[in-house]
Structure 1
Amino acid sequence: MTGDAFRSLYTRLRDGARRADPRGALRHLTPERVVAAAARVRLGRTVSLAAPVDTRLGPDNPEPAEHRMLAPAAGETGAKGLHFALDRIAMNVHGDATSHLDALCHVLYDGELYDGVPASTVTPEGARALSVDLVAEGIVGRGVLLDIPRLRGVPWLEPGDWVTPDDLTAAEAAQGVRVSPGDLLFVRVGHRRRRDELGPWDVARERAGLHPDAVAFLAERQVSVLGGDGNNDTAPSVVADVAFPVHVLAIHALGVHLMDYLQFEELAPACADAGRWDFLCTVAPLRVPGATGSPVNPIAVL
């Protein structure tokens, strides 16, 4: 995609989205749609969409999360009386091995955030607008999983490959599901399965994701949240001089919250066993004032 074509797509999506709403695309997720999503629960089965927090140094994890035990102290495990086990976790929220949610303040483009908010509102003390505070009450709605490797008959998409709008509509038809306004859309490319079976690699250089044209699908269906088992963006980027075009289009133009580096290796077979690819989904970000994102453990309820 040329730079001019990307700019044209960005302008079309931005101008077509209703602005002046700090919730962004979450405006499509109405209370009525939450109630309808809850009514979709049939089995009462819960499935996590998050990968385990990775504390190992690797080519895709140069800043691994730190998990350090603080207590009990030596000798306390066998001592009488009351003692506590304590630990501490520290992490790069937006790391390439961490399941996380991107707030609407995460993407700065042309000196602005989503909806024309000045980028200067992101300060060393935190973001004064469009931070993860917007979803402090959580996100609950109808989740839909579109499994692209299943559609193509492969275990995963190879790094550098991308998902097109035609892939998304073909997956809908193959799985007997349709993405609707307010949905939380999850697109599987098989990133986590490839990592588990072949080992980690430098995903900053090469990874599977969505083609920028696929973001028009999100706008047409009025999707509220997009989640992927990779970064959602393909690498190398298909757009010259824009390293993360899907992030720019989804977050900055449409106001769609993104979730990166989830994992669907339990969800996909659970959906297949249940014979349905939609479910109630709950997302509970940490309440960190002014944060640009949060680690998350989304839960699907079938």
Structure 2
Amino acid sequence: MPAAAQTATPAPGQPPANWYPSRYGADDQIGAMNLLNAQKVLEAVRLVTRGQVYRLGVPVGRETPAFPPRSLSVTVMMPDQFGGATVPSENRMSYADDMFTGWLGVGSQIDSFAHLGIDNVFYNGNRAQDFMHTTGVTRLGIEGIPPMVTRGVLVDMARARGKPMLDEGEIITADDLRNVMRDQGVQVRRGDVVLIHTGWVELLERDPARFGKGEPGIDNGAAEYLASLEVVAVGADTWGVEAVPFRNPNRVWEGHQTLLAKNGIHILEVMDTRALARDQATEFLFVLGQPLLKGAVQAIINPIAIR
């Protein structure tokens, strides 16, 4: 169960941060997903006027760059069908199976609230010692995330800065987001999913080594601003959403802490936003039903945008 209202142990010289229990109650596990309801779904569905579908996930395989030490592989087998044999049957049936070996945080993915915390405390005051096990988490797991059907908005930072791709370490601030949203006519509403296009995903195909070494992205102030808009998820076409290298190497992944731990907002990474950006789409129906992997803290996903 979540700890009672208290403060996480502050870093030296830092004031305590009163960030739990959650606004949704001390037992809550779904965070900002509480904001989604039938009315929000119907509002999002009304955005579909063209029947145009966009795949937001990317193909994932052995060569996909990932945050170290993550990797994965798929092994295909034809069990007991050696040397061209078939399954004993008059119709000579053949079949193949596959085995997945690897990490779930590779390629297009969603972060659950059990993925990243503050001093071993995770969303809503859940302490690692109470729910984190090598066999899977007993709270905040991927299987507990409700279906995400809502309005999505695209913030095209590459177009705003007049170049096809932002650079590694290039920071997107709260003011940047405000200005681009205003200029591009993007209005974020409660319960939305916000996707940021930087152009970085293009490197997956032509320079995967560079893709995985750094990235443009938001800073913590931008994460705080997005949280204030009461969104349910923040995503980008990068592998970590935040700018890397970090401006301050002694403060890492603060945006993740702000979104996941403090505000119960999911993070969507390696979103393929190229087609949406090319079509200058600003809003769309966003649909995600993640795999229900019991006890997992991340999952490989393929969300869909529909206009």
TM-score tier (shorter)? 0.7 to 0.9
**How far apart, CA to CA, are the structure 2 residues paired with 1:123 and 1:16?**
22
* Conserved? CA contact 2:236–2:269, under 8 Å: yes
Larger-gyration structure (1/2): 2
Report the CA distance shift for 1:215/1:11 in structure 2 as closer, same or farther (over 3 A). Answer: farther
Residues 64-103 of structure 1 aligned to structure 2 (within 5 Å): 64-71=71-78, 73=81, 74-75=83-84, 81-95=92-106, 98-103=107-112
Corresponding residue for residue 41 of structure 1: 48
Please, which of 116, 121, 140 is the counterpart of residue 130 of structure 1?
Answer: 140
Q: Deviations over 1:15-65 (max 9, x none)?
A: 797252321111222221111101111111111111111322758676432
**How far apart, CA to CA, are the structure 2 residues paired with 1:296 and 1:109?**
25
**How far apart, CA to CA, are the structure 1 residues paired with 2:216 and 2:34?**
29
Report the CA distance shift for 1:58/1:178 in structure 2 as closer, same or farther (over 3 A). Answer: closer
* Conserved? CA contact 1:49–1:300, under 8 Å: yes
5+ residue gaps, structure 2, are 1-9
**How far apart, CA to CA, are the structure 1 residues paired with 2:194 and 2:14?**
24
1:144 partner letter: V
1:279 partner letter: F
1:284 has 2:289 as partner: yes
1:224 has 2:232 as partner: yes
**How far apart, CA to CA, are the structure 2 residues paired with 1:280 and 1:167?**
24
TM-score (norm 1): 0.86
Please, which of 294, 301, 304 is the counterpart of residue 299 of structure 1?
Answer: 304
Report the CA distance shift for 1:223/1:16 in structure 2 as closer, same or farther (over 3 A). Answer: farther
* Conserved? CA contact 2:170–2:215, under 8 Å: yes
Please, which of 216, 220, 224 is the counterpart of residue 208 of structure 1?
Answer: 216
5+ residue gaps, structure 1, are none
- Alpha-carbon offset, residue 125 of structure 1: 1.6
Taking every aligned residue pair, what percent have the same amino acid on both sides? 25
- Alpha-carbon offset, residue 203 of structure 1: 3.2
TM-score (norm 2): 0.85
Residues 161-180 of structure 1 aligned to structure 2 (within 5 Å): 161-180=170-189
1:124 partner letter: T
4+ residue stretches of structure 1 with deviation over 4 A? Answer: 57-63
- Alpha-carbon offset, residue 290 of structure 1: 1.0
Secondary structure (helix, strand or coil) at the match of 2:223 reads helix
1:252 has 2:257 as partner: no
1:51 has 2:61 as partner: no
**How far apart, CA to CA, are the structure 2 residues paired with 1:41 and 1:126?**
38
The alignment of Structure 1 onto Structure 2 pairs a total of residues equal to 288
User: Relative to total residues, which structure has the larger helix share, 1 or 2?
Assistant: 1
